[in-house]
Amino acid sequence: MPELTVWMSWLSWPFLLGGVFFFLAGTLGLLRFPDVYSRLHAVTKADTLGLGLLVAGLSLRSDSWQSVGLMIMVWLLVMASGATACQLLARYQREAESSKATTEHRQANDAR
């Protein structure tokens, strides 16, 4: 039986490292990408995947089913809230841009 736990903890390393990698990639994208949409894309997608991998890695190391269930529920909640927040921010940005565009258009017309 101890061999199984040793195996599991070895198996969890790729998941944990993958999770860290995706978090880093998402953060880099958030800092370096040029506009709001691609930044949102980077941060929500990469972080959701990164958190999922972390949860998978930690589940392999956990010793009770209850904590595994809790972690999966946390992941689902974060995923849903990330998707909602991304949608809201992107929509806000689009409306801000379109209202700016219409005012510029109107100003151009007035100038003419």
Which spans of this chain sit near other proteins (rule: CB under 8 A)? 77, 80-81, 84, 87-88, 91
Which lies closer to other proteins via its Cβ, residue 68 or residue 89? Answer: 89
Smallest distance from other proteins to CB 74, Å: 12
Which lies closer to other proteins via its Cβ, residue 26 or residue 108? Answer: 26
Which lies closer to other proteins via its Cβ, residue 7 or residue 70? Answer: 70
Tokens of 18: 């993958």
**Alpha carbons 43 and 104: distance in angstroms, whole number:** 31
Tokens of 41: 């894309």
Smallest distance from other proteins to CB 84, Å: 5
Q: How many Cβ atoms from other residues are within 10 Å of residue 56's Cβ?
A: 20
The SS3 of residue 64 is coil
Q: At what angle do helices 36-61 and 65-111 cross, to 10 degrees?
A: 180
Smallest distance from other proteins to CB 80, Å: 8
